Amino acid sequence: MLHFLARRLPSVVLMLVVTAVIAFLLPRLGGGDPAQVVAGSDATAEQVQAIREQMGLDRPLAVQFVDWAGSVASGDLGTSLISNRPVAQLIGARLGSTLELAGAATILMIVMGLGLGILAGITRKGAPRALLDGAISVLLATPPHVTGLILILVFGITWRLIPITGEVSILDDPMRGLSYLIMPAFALALPQAAMIARLVDARMAQVRQEEFVDLATAKGVPPRRILLSHVLRNSLGTAVIATGIRIGEILAGAVVIEAIFARQGLGMLAVSSISARDYEVVQIIVLFAVVIAVLVHFLSEILLAALDPRIRLDG
């Protein structure tokens, strides 16, 4: 197992480094001179130059990067040049909303993904099979923002069942919070759930063809037990890895979903910061999203290794 993890580690580290570099470069790529922004539009060239030196922007990029990475790693996320507030504070204010959304969506995704996948996996023929296949295909092909808009049109406009925009924290008022949360969470979760379902279904079909399933039948094992101990047990790894990848997509999808449902989360913060050219905030949010995606993926690989004796014992 340690071997396996050690083998995976370089790519995790590489991914983190690349992300850090990209996040670091974002403000520079975005154009505009930070020193100019700080100095204001009617500052003289000398003033700007002084501020540039003061901010350390005249040093080589590599030095600036090490400096920046060091301070981020030690918890100093920097200061917004636009609002002059610490980035950590800006993000902190929005974190709760996004966590609620992403958390709810993740739970929905896992439950629906595994549920649909297993249901499809055990329904091998006839009309129910075609129905499940069709449902998964449609959900799979429709991304979160489109799903979200359709949900709004159906439940918010046509039937007027659920409020479509705005939010209340679940912690403050669970019932109302939930009613605001349910549509965006579903919109975010459904396409990813369909992806998991498709993979689980395909894997189960594949395991079913394995000779050890025939051997279990030849042993006289009842069908339900074959399904659980042999087919499902050997499909778990696929489900775990699929889930691990999809959680990153949920975070990214939150950007658009928050815009559509007018939720004041990190996604909205990212979007408004881009429009305001507040790149110090954007870079931290990007870093944050990728680091979480990478770590969740790595976690899912650890879980996979724990589930599979071939990796656990030898890999």
Partner 1 sequence: MSANDTHPPHPAGRKLRVGAGMARYLGAFRSPRGMIGGGLLLVMMFAALLAPVLFPGGVDLQTRDNFQPPTFAHPFGTDEYGRDIFVRCIYALRVSLSLVLVAVPFAMALGILMGLSGAVSRRLGEICQRIFDIILGFPSLVLGICIVVAIGAGWLALAITILVFSLPQFGRLARGALLTEQNREYVLAARVLGVPKRRIMTRHILPNTLDPLLVQASLSMIAGIFAEAALSIVGLGIQPPTPSLGTLLNVGIRYVYAQPMYTAGPIIMLLLLALAFNLIADALNAAVLKAKRA
Partner 2 sequence: MTKDDLLSVRDLTVEFGPDRAPLRVLHEISFDVARGRILGIVGESGSGKSMTAKAVMGMLPEGGRIAGGEIRLADRNLVGLDAPQLRRLRGRDLAMVFQDPQAALNPVKTIGWQIEEALTVHGMSARDARSRALDLLRQVGIPDPETRIDEYPHQFSGGMRQRVVIAIALANSAPLIIADEPTTALDVTIQAQVLRLLVELRERLGVTVVMITHDMGVVAELCDDVIVMYGGRVVERGAVGDIFAAPQHPYTRALLRSMPQVAGDRLARLPAIPGATPDLAHLPPGCAFHPRCGLAEEVCRRTVPALAPIPDRPQSEAACHVAQREGRLPPEPMREVEANAARARRPSPAPILELQDLRVDFGSRRRLLRREPPFYAVDGVSLQLFPGETIGLVGESGCGKTTVSRAIVGVNPLSDGRIRVDGQDVTAFDAAATRHVRQTVQYVFQDPYASLNPRLTIRQILSEALEQRGLPAGEREAECVRLMEMVGLDRGYLDRYPRAFSGGQRQRIGIARALAVEPRVLICDEPVSALDVSIQAQVINILADLRDRLDLALLFIAHDLAVVRHLSDRVAVMYLGRIVEEGPAEEVYARPRHPYTAALMSSTPRPEPDPGAMARKSVLRGDPPDPRNPPSGCRFRTRCPIGPLVHPERRICIESDPALRGEGRHRAACHFSDEVTRPAEESTT
Contacting residue, 53, 67, 173, 210, with partner 2 by CB under 8 A: 210
Q: What is the DSSP string of 43-99?
A: --HHHHHHHHHHHTTTS-HHHHHHHHHHHHHTT---B-TTT-SBHHHHHHHHHHHHH
Residues 136-165, one symbol each (x = binds partner 1 by CB under 8 A, - = not), give: -x---xxx-xx--xx-xx--xxx-----x-
* 11 touches partner 1 by CB under 8 A: yes
Contacting residue, 212, 262, 299, 306, with partner 2 by CB under 8 A: 212
Taking each helix axis as running N to C, give the angle between helix 174-208 and helix 144-151, from 0 to 180 degrees, rounded to the nearest 10: 130
**Closest residue by Cα to residue 284 from 274, 296, 276, 299:** 274
Contacting residue, 77, 266, 270, 284, with partner 1 by CB under 8 A: 270
C-alpha to C-alpha distance for 221 and 293, rounded to whole angstroms? 40
- Pick the stretch among 83-91, 104-112, 184-192, 220-228 that binds partner 2 (CB under 8 A): 220-228
Q: What angle do CA 160, 165, 166 make, to 5 degrees?
A: 130
Residues 100-159 that bind partner 2 (CB under 8 A): 124
The smaller minimum CB distance to partner 1, of residues 145 and 176, is found at: 145
Residues 119-138, one symbol each (x = binds partner 1 by CB under 8 A, - = not), give: ------------------x-
Q: What is residue 181's three-state secondary structure?
A: helix
Residue 79 near residue 87, CB atoms below 8 Å: yes
Q: Which does 111 bind (CB under 5 to 8 A by kind): partner 2, partner 1, none?
A: none
Instruction: Read off the amino acid at residue 1.
Output: M
Tell me the H-state helices in 61-210: 61-73, 87-122, 126-141, 144-151, 174-208
* 310 touches partner 2 by CB under 8 A: yes
Q: Which does 275 bind (CB under 5 to 8 A by kind): partner 1, partner 2, none?
A: partner 1
Q: Which does 122 bind (CB under 5 to 8 A by kind): partner 1, partner 2, none?
A: none
Q: Residue numbers of the site for partner 2 (CB under 8 A)?
A: 10, 124, 210-212, 214-223, 225, 229-230, 233-234, 307-310, 313-314
